[in-house]
Amino acid sequence: MWNWTYAMSIIPPLLQALKVTVSATLVAFAIAMFGGLLLALCRRSRFKPLSWIAGAVVEFIRSTPLLVQLYFIFYVLPLYGLSLSPFAAGVLGLGLHYSAYMSEVYRSGIEAVPRGQWEASTALNFTKVQTWIRVVLPQAVPPVVPVLGNYLIVMFKETPILSAITLVEMLQKAQILGSESFRYLEPFTIIGLLFLIVSYPSSILVRRLETRLNRK
């Protein structure tokens, strides 16, 4: 049933595809970190329409499936002259989707900064930008790092969805290998294990980070 020689022979191409998966995760995570922060800041803006729009964007993105958003980016945007490669579309979709989730994380971090800190920066005559960069964010971000780390792992596990828009990451590669040999058991089992091998130690790492932060 389980063919070892075949399993061994497909490991190198799957590891190659793991590289695509990991790089897509990292790029998307960078987008999500930045986009999330931007959304969180917009949401706190005193200019009402801006905060309202940011809120609506977050709610909408969180209430619709990533897969459909990816289809939208990949199939609809080209009709308006914006053609993206599968990698770019996938990374953009994944990054935008999770920036909505991360904006909530940042928001909780920002709300946890004591009010006195804001008042102190007003008293010190800081400008708004200085207040954010020097006072609020340095206190708001470190406590939420473990949560952001968890989202990194979640995003890693969501990358197989990018196979739906023809990006050849691990799942797509496994499918291609399977259709060549009509053996699906080995490729799918191996990528399942690869996901576990990467994500389980990372989750332990995040947990350790969390306990260390809690001790402080």
Alpha carbon distance 24, 121 (integer Å): 39
Q: Where are the alpha helices (DSSP H) in 45-166?
A: 48-63, 66-71, 86-111, 115-123, 128-130, 137-158
Please report where in the chains the tokens 């008042």 appear, as a residue: 119
Please identify, using beta-carbon distances, which residue of 37 and 171 lies nearer to another protein: 171
Q: How many angstroms separate the CA atoms of 106 and 112, rounded?
A: 10
Chain positions contacting another protein, by CB under 8 A: 1, 59-60, 62-69, 71-72, 75-76, 79, 157-161, 163-164, 171, 174-175, 178, 183-185, 188-189, 191-192, 195-196, 199-200, 203
Min dist CB 34 to another protein, Å, is: 23
- We find the least distance from the C-beta atom of residue 184 to another protein, in angstroms, to be 4
Helices and strands: H and E segment counts in the chain: 9, 0
Q: How far is the CB of 119 from another protein (least distance, A)?
A: 26
Smallest distance from another protein to CB 185, Å: 4
Choose between 145 and 154: whose C-beta lies nearer to another protein. Answer: 154
